[in-house]
Structure 1
Amino acid sequence: MEMEEKDQTFISEIKTNKRKSPKITVIGGGTGLPVLLRQLRKRKADVTAIVTVADDGGSSGVIRDYINIVPPGDIRNCMIALSPMESMKKEIFQYRFNSDDKFFAGHAIGNLIIAALTEMKGNNIFEAVRILSDMMQIDGHIYPAAEEPLLLKATFKDGTEVLGESHLAKYRKPIERVTVHSYDETKKPTPAKAVVDAILESDMVVIGPGSLYTSILPNLMIEDIGKAVCETKAEVLYICNIMTQLGETEHFTDADHVRVLHEHLGKNFIDTVIVNTESVPDEYLNQQKNEEYLYQVKYDFNGLREQGCHVISSEFIQLKDSGVYHDGAKVIDEVYTLLSSTNQRMQ
């Protein structure tokens, strides 16, 4: 009898710990992903970040071209978000050389460290990230979407095509579809087994926020990742961008974002959408550096519901550094509320 009571106590503790540490897999890239990861670390979630490897601009692009490794920039930012290291160490890792430092101009120290470790480990990016994660005391997992750099190809609605993530926005034409390709034309882009397992074993899969065509879809267009997202029993949550983006989502509503995702995977796979309904101040409209943002994404509740999505709408704006961002704490509050309601429905 005493042994049975101990077994029941142990089982109860497992269930309690599971409730305290839900398995959450976040898929994306760019500046939106670290915002969520920082908040999830504070909540002590069991986090896995799956990061795009199609970035070919800036320091990451230069390194991937010279050393033929996956672009390290998004991985670096995710590591900083999930690491409890003191701020000075993080600043060193994030430090970017000045433009007048000819040889190192524009490179972040963290990018160079990731590249060096990858080379040391026989071009094994997963092993490099694992070692660096241990060094940075990261409690969670950071996985590149594939073990090799990938090339993004966009096909516009007029039938023309462009290669390279960094070139896409320059054309200012409506996009029909994006795909990703290995530089070795005989190979198909393939994720590591750990990437697929993380998606299938999660309590929730979070997609976004991030550039629709250049941060989110490059992950989902890897066949095995897209298939896993469609097949997982986890709640699939999409966090829609607050602002449209030049050359990508001009004039888009939140429903348009979801429609593009569904069309690319051939299935309505998104269960819930988080959308912002707070107005962006006029002085933040069309005033961003490099014109990356244009206007606020329009709210289309009926369009979202027609695609079978549960909608969470509220005020999620955080204004800082002359930019418009998601308030990470508010978003994660909604994530945990959704997790709680999902668990109750499944019991």
Structure 2
Amino acid sequence: MTKHITNYRQPRIVVIGGGTGLPVILKSLHKLNADITAVVTVADDGGSSGIIRDYVNVVPPGDIRNVLAALSNLPQLYLDIFQYRFNSNDSFLAGHAIGNLIIAALSEMKSGIFDAVQELSTMMKIDGHVYPASNDPLILNAHFSDGSDIAGEAEITGAGKQIERVWVTSALGQKKPHAVKEVINAIMTADIVVLGPGSLFTSILPNLMIENVGTAVKQTKAQVVYVCNIMTQKGETEHFTDAEHVRVLNQHLGANFVNTVLVNTQPVPDNYMDHQKYDEYLVQVQHDFHGLRELSCRVISDDFLKLRDHGVFHDGDKVAHELLHLASQPSEVIK
């Protein structure tokens, strides 16, 4: 009997972003054995990451830590230790996650975050690749509708103003922010580039505002998919429709580069969400399918909603299955 040998390979998926939404999708893609590269923002200046950045001149490690844990094959006990955050009454280490301290230490040992994360990826038995968007810490800057400018992620989201545009500068002086060649190569050779889910102005756009990253996302032959947020965010996307999210992305890069948008159409039950616990989220994003089509986007709408702990999340498994399906399609079908 003749055996038929196929040259099947898993589609190459590059996911760009940061924040709490990114690991949810990565965990589900990991379960599907996808060929994953995560490009993670390095412009965070809040929480444990911000404190470490203030005292140690390294890229803030929090988002990178969560992505490493999502793609790791270590036993759960080891991951629990890596993710452990000291209690607030431990004054010296209050609020710090052990993984953040490990990443900061390796960054000093390896003279940079990129090599540190590659070393840690081996130690943690990572499937795929985790790439910091830049080897240097970046500062997020914003221009507001009232004409004012503010620097720093926490300051921007806490300003209570409408953001018009954002950009990044190096925390190391006049050096121009750039991504290492591995990041650019991953984007250019991908089958699909995924943006989000995550905060539009503070998790997704900081990556795209690194000039060679933005250029690569516009020039890649891969289809570019945006996973639209389910809820609007205080200080960022108040009153935004799904089309306005995409419009902001396109305006920042000066081109209609988003090919496909994943939109949740399942309503969030009234009074389900705990707005004290999840105080940054406001109301459900409204749909503007006509506006999305005017932006040359294909829209995939479905029930992508996951309700958990009185919070609203994407159903990682449903999104991952949809992304894997899209990644298996020829790019010329979309672009």
Q: By the TM > 0.5 criterion, same fold?
A: yes
Q: 1:220: how far off?
A: 0.3
Counterpart residue number, 1:187: 175
Q: Is the 8 A contact 2:58 2:107 kept in 1?
A: yes
Pair 1:285–1:303, CA change in 2 (3 A): farther
Q: Deviations over 1:266-292 (max 9, x none)?
A: 000000000001101111357242521
Answering whether residue 270 of structure 2 is matched by residue 256 of structure 1, we say: no
Q: Is the 8 A contact 2:196 2:227 kept in 1?
A: yes
Q: Which of 10, 17, 29 in structure 2 is aligned with 1:28?
A: 17
Q: Deviations over 1:175-211 (max 9, x none)?
A: 1100000123421001100000000010000000000
Counterpart residue number, 2:265: 277
* Matching residue's letter, 1:334: E
Counterpart residue number, 2:296: 308
Output the aligned Cα RMSD.
1.7
Answering whether residue 39 of structure 2 is matched by residue 50 of structure 1, we say: yes
Q: Which of 70, 73, 83 in structure 1 is aligned with 2:72?
A: 83
Answering whether residue 140 of structure 2 is matched by residue 133 of structure 1, we say: no
1-side partners of 2:119 and 2:158: how far apart? 38
Counterpart residue number, 2:150: 162
Identity level (%): 60
Q: Which of 189, 205, 210 in structure 2 is aligned with 1:222?
A: 210
- 1:95-110 equivalent positions in 2, closer than 5 A: 95-110=84-99
Q: 1:225: how far off?
A: 0.2
2-side partners of 1:161 and 1:124: how far apart? 29
| Secondary structure at 1:289 match in 2 | coil
| Secondary structure at 1:291 match in 2 | coil
Answering whether residue 38 of structure 2 is matched by residue 38 of structure 1, we say: no
1-side partners of 2:254 and 2:30: how far apart? 33
Structure 2 residue ranges without an equivalent (≥5): none
1-side partners of 2:78 and 2:165: how far apart? 41
Q: Is the 8 A contact 1:210 1:216 kept in 2?
A: yes
2-side partners of 1:183 and 1:29: how far apart? 19
* Matching residue's letter, 2:151: L
1-side partners of 2:184 and 2:325: how far apart? 25
Q: Is the 8 A contact 2:187 2:216 kept in 1?
A: yes
* Matching residue's letter, 1:53: V
Pair 1:344–1:57, CA change in 2 (3 A): closer
Q: Is the 8 A contact 1:285 1:296 kept in 2?
A: no
Kindly name which structure, 1 or 2, has the bigger radius of gyration based on alpha carbons: 1
2-side partners of 1:177 and 1:233: how far apart? 26
Q: 1:342: how far off?
A: 3.2
2-side partners of 1:253 and 1:50: how far apart? 26
Q: Deviations over 1:25-55 (max 9, x none)?
A: 0000001110111011111111100000000
| Secondary structure at 2:85 match in 1 | coil
| Secondary structure at 1:282 match in 2 | coil
Q: 1:336: how far off?
A: 2.0
Counterpart residue number, 1:208: 196
Q: Deviations over 1:77-114 (max 9, x none)?
A: 00110011111111100000001101100000000011
Q: Is the 8 A contact 2:221 2:331 kept in 1?
A: no
How many residues of Structure 1 are paired with residues of Structure 2 in the alignment? Answer: 333
Q: 1:239: how far off?
A: 0.1
Counterpart residue number, 2:330: 342
* Matching residue's letter, 1:140: G
Q: Deviations over 1:279-325 (max 9, x none)?
A: 01111357242521000000110010000000000111101122100
| Secondary structure at 2:91 match in 1 | coil
Q: Which of 141, 146, 149 in structure 1 is aligned with 2:134?
A: 146
1-side partners of 2:282 and 2:290: how far apart? 24
2-side partners of 1:120 and 1:339: how far apart? 37
2-side partners of 1:283 and 1:85: how far apart? 38
Q: Which of 292, 305, 320 in structure 1 is aligned with 2:308?
A: 320
